[in-house]
Every structure is written in structure tokens, then in C-alpha cells.
Amino acid sequence: MHREGHIGAASLAYAPVGFVIFVVEFEGAAMAGAVGAGLLAMVPDYDQRVPGITHRGITHTVWFAALVGIALGLIGLAIGSSDGILAAIGLGVFGLLVGTVTILSHIAADALTPMGVEPFAPVRDDHYSYDVARAANPIANYGLLALGIAASGVALVVGNALTNI
């Protein structure tokens, strides 16, 4: 998929996380997570800019998703540490979720293409391709973007309604 599709997939995947964070009245964190998901959506495709790394190789695996999640979790832990252990743990878990969910959404979106992905490489060589649309298909990319925006909007509206009851 292209940028629009990946941002849409990240928004779609993050919407339930953002909803929960919003409902427990951490609205700022919920919004920051949505922005973070959008910014991280294309990280796996940076493999195209690094010599010696195969496109849709290691950066398109669950291991890379875990690595990004752990890195963001540690950053969240460090940021929250000045506000006490609960804040540190909360921000750490939140960072872990945002990072992992966003990278997994990228992998899932690429699995929709004929090229597919091998998300468990090099441990297993299972190949996943649902062959729904080519990566450059504008209808698929903008459709995913619209779906992600809609899911985020629903999460925001319903979350806001629930917090005002």
C-alpha cells in the first residue's frame, strides 16, 4: 500500500486503543497517540532507503513491531517517571501499544497486496497475501484512509458521548 493506505490502516487499528484512552479521560494522550500512529505508519517502508535491507523484509515482521513497541514503551516509561510509578507504567504501556499496533497495521495492509508479507521471518517462512489490491491502487489506498478516518471519528464521538453521561 501507499502512504494514504498505511495512514488509514494505522488510524483504523489505533481507533479502539484511542477510544479506551479517551473514555478513561486521558483525552490528550488519546489524541497524541492518534498523531503518533499517523507519523509511524510509514516506518517499515524506510527499509527502501537503507542499503542492504530488503523491502518487506525484517521491517515488515512481528519482531520489528515488537522492537518499535518496546522502544516507544521505554520512552513513555522515561517520560512518565517524573510523575510517579503509575504514570510511568501507564505511559510505557501506552507507548508499547501505539508502536506495536501501528507497525502491525502496516504489515496487515501490505498483506492485502499480491506481493504480501512474511511477518514471522526468519523464524517461519509463512507468506501472507490476500491479493485484494495492488499497492498502487488509489481506490484501495483512499478507501483504507476513509475507513481509518471514519473509525477514528466514531471512536471520538462515542467516547465523548460516554464521558459526558
Confidence band, pLDDT 50/70/90 cuts, at residue 165: confident
Confidence band, pLDDT 50/70/90 cuts, at residue 63: very high
Task: Supply the pLDDT for residue 163.
Answer: 87
Task: Supply the pLDDT for residue 24.
Answer: 93
CA distance 162 to 9: 25
How many residues comprise the chain?
A: 165
Domain boundaries, the chain: 3-164
Q: 57-61 long-range contacts, Cβ below 8 Å, gap at least 24?
A: 57/121, 58/121, 60/106, 60/107, 60/110, 60/117, 60/118, 60/119, 61/107, 61/118, 61/119, 61/120, 61/121
Residue 136 reports pLDDT greater than 90: yes
pTM of the full predicted structure? 0.95
